[in-house]
Amino acid sequence: MLGIVKWFKEDVGYGFIVDKTGKNWFVHYTGILSEEKFKKLYPLQIVDFEQSSNEKGPTAINVCKADVSDDIRKEYIDILVANGYDIEVANKRLEKVKKRDKFYKGGNKNEYTAEKTD
């Protein structure tokens, strides 16, 4: 299943992913598939994950970065906006992450940033 990272706090190791229906999925760093020493996600990153649940509710497991087209990415950003999420807040969070994360590999400068939609 595809989703978009709403937020992820490295210091506590968890965050939330939103799926195509607008449903929030809890994600813990242990559920992230990565070869990196420090497992993390970035705001507005599109990810692929499997559905699970625990005592806290819907949980995302086996989470990994998804390579998707710009159209798919925009669709997921629009889902966040439709559910009241402020894209500017996500972009500010991402800037903070990039400043403190020496391992950040942004690639395309717009890979994780979004244009505010009208």
Alpha-carbon distance 83 to 78, whole Å? 9
Structure token digits, residue 47 = 């990810």
Report pTM.
Answer: 0.77
Going along the chain from its start, the domains and CATH numbers come out as 2-100 (2.40.50.140)
Q: Give φ, ψ of 69 to 5 degrees.
A: -75, 165
Candidate ranges 11-15, 47-51, 100-104; pick with highest mean pLDDT: 47-51
Structure token digits, residue 65 = 């970065």
Q: What are the tens digits of pLDDT across the range 96-109? A: 766 665 555 554 44
**Which of the four pLDDT bands, split at 50, 70 and 90, describes residue 32?**
very high
